[in-house]
A and B are shown apart, each in its own frame.
Chain A
């Protein structure tokens, strides 16, 4: 990391231009991946990262440069490239930084990067053994442990200097079940902003068993029916529906340029009154949490929707300028190679008061989506899709046979209005979210919800 004096010199140099703001994001860190096929360790890879991203604003224009050439001459040349893009100017300014000390809300007990490799391999072996022990039809497993340690140092022309360390671990298991010619796979991969102590609560055994359970269910699953029907989406990763159908369209990235179906809707009813939703980057040790965002602002708990009314967007500094609003601490990026923008952190629908039994019991013919896969959305049109990894038919108020090969599609504005029951059992699930500033860790979450009508894309047509 650069010293304070070097940062002050670079920021002062950057401001000798038409820029009205300059920011330096530095990153050093290590990513480690260990993977096993069955009980054998297949690969152990490490990636040591170190780089810098420098950004200048002039009004709502931004210029961004990034490099991992950290010598003084290269950095000055990078700043000069950026100054040239905006136009150089003699300005009487001298940037002086004052370090902010922040509280670490996400303390880690066992640093996953420093922990001995054998200790980490042992976690994967436990997951493999537990997955195989579920049933003899489980013929194969692939397991992996990802560990990340990222140190960031963020400084800007307003005098901010702040540092943070983000540590994350995630264990993934794919279990393969075979019956005659048919092979099906199940997947589970929880993660947290924790060290290896995370696996005392999310045990490798429980992760392996869950992956195997899903694979075995899919062996028995029939083709999913098609068409519009009521759907109960279970808690945890089911929250991907809110992430896709609504979350992305509430990011300033889309809103500031009027490229969202929810632009201009603040204070208006955009969802059923049953829906209250948050994006909360402060949850201690959650997968999508961090102490500060990637512009150095403290992370926040943001109430996005309260009883169906749109309360706030997720806003970064640059888009805040376009919108005439302050940052909500929502600026994130995958690494120094990406210019940051507004992104989600841990996004979830708050618990309601409806019982799961009432939701299922209220449906004559529909789908119970127990485990969701990923999805995507076009914020401009609000059209979204996401995959159902484990689903069951609901017939006459009862959960009946498992079904496979289903996806759910719709438009965000319509689906939010169609959420007519919200359960009590709020949980969050681990995911990675891809967008213009790269792939970042995000939690999604919700209690079980009932959507009165949504298009189910299946393979069985009646």
Chain B
């Protein structure tokens, strides 16, 4: 693709400004099952998307088969799409700004496939040997992903970066009599030499075996701690509340609450794509806007929202550098990146001791369906354990937890100190709440 040629032709056709976004994604995945390689996947995909402003309106086209001789057809289509748009608010592309890179050199050591196969074999053996009740290693895999992104526009933005990630995933099945339970674990690995295989096996097997003796609960309202993973998934599902686009559209329930107290004063929320504690650090968003740290909620008070260029124009504000794509083919939308609830002082153990009796939720299911974003109501299948006399007592499964997110975030007892980013771009510590509705038998 001759980018300058495309830009020049776009401008000649009356497109006011024009952007080309390209990404290359390469992947290698090896999975192992029953003593041998199960699947091996390799890929190399170049994705291109172009967008442009015509008569103030923006249209997007994503392409996989990019040929310069198709340029006129694509650009004419783009103009036709833009002419169909009727919103009053106009759109813009970004002009070049200084991007100050964060010092974040991460080293990824790529193993050869034989090393990976040997590790898979050993992991499968060790997982199976851990306990006779571990009856199957249901999935075991290693994946390496490499991707680049390049943003070029007619104003002169010309930015490029790349990222690599490598991780292992395993899930095991435990069985005792007729009871079958499973669990999984994912670990990001910079260098296989540093991988603590023994700890990985122990944690996964112990977590799975613990579930074997789980019981349901009778329906009740009781004190609840959302352990960090469960809290992260719940917070992620409602993180759109801070999305400037959804606030502009009046869909976020906190649309009229800027500078007001919306959550418990124990809650402070920060979004910072430049946070080097996180797996991925981004100096600019997918529009080429430099990223920065924002405090969204300060001790319970809603202090700022997130914007991309589009939502910023609509709200008479400036982009916060949160315009990201979910893939090269998707359009840019407001997305939190490296967003977290700041940790408090107490460990999960201390929080359990303080709670004395109640439920710790370790996992939530069905988040794509069991919550209503607009009203904040949720009712979700969950698993966890019951705490008695301040200590972990027995595993609990086949129950639901239900509440309203805004009400829940005002019922905070304490915020844990166990913030752990792992491979996520949204994270929270464990949080204890006064009560939630639990449904079971």
Contact = CB atoms under 8 A, between A and B. Distances in A.
Interface string A383-420: 11111000000000000000011110111000000000
Contacts of B38: 60-62
A237 B134 CA distance: 37
Interface in A48-69: 48-51, 60-69
A298 interface: no
A177 B59 CA distance: 30
Nearest to B70: A48
B413 interface: no
Nearest to A411: B398
A386 B380 contact: no
Interface string B192-229: 00000000000000000000000010111100000000
Interface string B253-293: 10000000000000000000000000000000000000000
B41 A64 contact: yes
Given A61-B39, A458-B437, A117 B366 contact: no
A375 B369 contact: yes
B1 interface: no
B344 interface: no
A24 interface: no
Interface in B373-399: 374-375, 377-381, 397-399
A381 interface: yes
Interface string B56-99: 00111111110000000000010011101111100000000000
A384 B173 CA distance: 17
Contact of B81 (A45, A51, A142, A339): A45
Interface of A: 28, 34, 37, 39-51, 60-70, 74, 78, 81-82, 85, 117-118, 121, 139-140, 142, 176, 182-185, 218, 224, 226-228, 257-259, 261, 337, 339, 373-376, 378, 380-381, 383-387, 404-407, 409-411, 455-461
B180 A380 contact: yes
B381 A226 contact: no
Given A41-B85, A66-B43, A458-B439, A50 B398 contact: no
A458 B166 CA distance: 40
Contact of A45 (B63, B331, B377): B331
A48 B65 contact: yes
Contact of B366 (A48, A51, A121, A386): A386
Contacts of B42: 63-65, 78, 81-82, 85
Q: How large is the interface on B (under 10, 10 to 19, 20 to 34, 35 or more residues)?
A: 35 or more
B403 interface: yes
B295 interface: no
B186 interface: no
Chain B interface mostly helix, strand, loop or mixed? strand
Contacts of A386: 366, 369-370
9 contacts: A42-B87, A44-B81, A61-B37, A184-B374, A185-B374, A227-B440, A383-B381, A387-B371, A458-B437
Contacts of A69: 44, 46
A383 B86 contact: no
Contacts of B121: none
B41 A65 contact: yes
Nearest to A120: B84
A381 B180 contact: yes
Given A63-B40, A457-B402, A383 B368 contact: no
B84 A407 contact: no
B41 A407 contact: no
B375 A228 contact: no
A384 B87 CA distance: 42
B181 A45 contact: no
Contacts of B251: 140, 176
B188 interface: no
A319 to B, nearest CB: 11
B327 to A, nearest CB: 10
Interface string B94-128: 00000000000000000001000000000000000
A409 B381 contact: yes
Nearest to B78: A46
B138 interface: yes
Given A257-B136, A405-B402, 9 more contacts: A41-B85, A67-B44, A82-B42, A140-B250, A374-B368, A380-B138, A457-B401, A457-B402, A457-B439
Given A140-B249, A386-B369, A61 B36 contact: yes
A81 B41 CA distance: 10
B245 to A, nearest CB: 10
Given A48-B65, A64-B40, A227-B441, A376 B368 contact: yes
B376 to A, nearest CB: 10
A369 to B, nearest CB: 12
Contact of B87 (A28, A40, A70): A40
Across the A-B interface, the 6 shortest Cβ-Cβ residue pairs? A457-B400, A374-B369, A226-B439, A385-B381, A44-B81, A405-B377
B433 interface: no
Contacts of B40: 62-64, 82, 85
A63 B41 CA distance: 6
Nearest to B80: A117
Nearest to B34: A257
Contacts of B167: none
B182 interface: yes
A46 B61 contact: yes
B421 interface: no
B235 interface: no
Contacts of A66: 41, 43, 45
Nearest to A44: B81
B180 A257 contact: no
B314 to A, nearest CB: 11
Contacts of A411: 398
A118 B80 CA distance: 10
Contact of A227 (B81, B84, B250, B439): B439
Contacts of A409: 381, 398-400
A63 B39 contact: yes
Given A140-B250, A176-B251, A50 B65 contact: yes
A339 B371 CA distance: 31
A378 B58 CA distance: 42
B365 interface: yes
B180 A261 contact: yes
Given A51-B45, A461-B220, A43 B85 contact: yes
Contacts of B329: 47, 49
Contact of B375 (A34, A48, A183, A455): A183
